[in-house]
Amino acid sequence: MGYININGLTITSFDTKETDRYVVMLTDKLGKINVKFKSVRTSTSKRSGYTDSFVYEKVQLYKKGNTYIATEIEMLDDFRDAKNDLSKMVVLLYIKELLLLLLPYEEENMEILDLTLKTLSFLSSVEPVYSKVALLYYMFHFMKLLGSPINFLQEHPKVIYFSFENNGFNENSGFTVDAVVYEESLLLNKMAYPEKLNIVKFNEILDLLNYYIIQKFELDEYKKFLESVKTLSVR
């Protein structure tokens, strides 16, 4: 295989025993892949910043065996204003965890890349108070694009339930849900783009989404992640 030109968003990175670094990237043509950045850990390297989390780049790749190697790199956006506040950083931690745990490798999904870039751009341009909107918007739409959308009702019954067995909101079984929780969730799920809104029931909606993800995918790693961010929460 020859050279491949892609646009990619870095998710996380890990060092090798040498001076190289592997970067998990979400790309426009190859889906989620591991990319080897050679010699970025040397004292003279000018490329180390390209391996930070959530940097959008134009990259020329070469595939050697099963390994993608970055040869030419151009930074497109580092979303630095999404990294200057604790509440925004918590949103980035959630996005990173969801992409690492739930998104399969090497399956092209341009819609999830677009969603992630859209959310990062919003997060970069707004005050920290709107981090809550960014997180919930991302989670609802991410689940939808994964093929596991939260179910909503065609009508608004007097009593609304939420359960994993019924794929979300329903009128039959589960635990009862406040009407405002349902209405705000429905609004977030319908948004084409994140908006500057005050979400009154943020904690309750986030708990529902986390419960759904835990039940749906049965991942102990996600439970551990939630424990680790509990004290850093945007709540």
pLDDT at 234: 64
32, 89: one domain: no
**147: exposed, middle or buried (Cβ count in 10 Å: 0-12, 13-18, 19+):** exposed
Return the higher-pLDDT residue of 64 and 11.
11
The pLDDT tens digits of the residues spanning 94-103 come to 999 999 999 9
CATH of the domain at 68: 2.40.50.140
pLDDT at 226: 94
Strands 168-170 and 67-77: unpaired
% of the chain residues with pLDDT over 90 = 80
Say if residue 28 is in the same domain as residue 114.
no
pLDDT reported for residue 205: 97
Q: Report strand pairing: 31-37 vs 21-27.
A: antiparallel
Do 33 and 89 sit in the same domain of this protein? no
Number of domains making up the chain: 2
Give yes or no: residues 171 and 105 share one domain.
yes
In this structure, are 87 and 161 located in the same domain?
A: yes
**Pair (94, 157) in one structural domain:** yes
CA angle 22, 25, 26 (to 5 degrees): 165
> Is the domain of 96 the same as that of 148?
yes
pLDDT value of position 1: 59
Instruction: Tell me the per-residue pLDDT of 149-163, one tens digit each, with 9 for 90 and over.
Output: 999 998 888 899 999
| 177 band by pLDDT with thresholds 50, 70 and 90 | very high
Same domain? For 128 and 24 the reply is: no
pLDDT of residue 15: 81
* Strands, sheet with 168-170, edge to edge from the N-terminal-most edge strand: 168-170, 160-163, 175-177
Judgement on whether residues 106 and 222 belong to the same structural domain of the protein: yes
pLDDT tens digit sequence for 127-140: 999 999 999 999 99
pLDDT at 65: 87
Check which CATH number belongs to the domain holding 139 and give it. Answer: 1.20.1440.120
Calculate the average pLDDT of the chain.
Answer: 92
Final residue of a structural domain among 16, 43, 77: 77
Nearest to 58 by CA among 24, 81, 83, 28: 28
26: domain range? 3-77
Instruction: Note the pTM of the prediction, 2 decimals.
Output: 0.94
Pairing verdict, β 67-77 and 31-37: parallel
Phi, psi of 46 (to 5 degrees): -105, 10
Which of 38, 56, 77 marks a domain boundary? 77
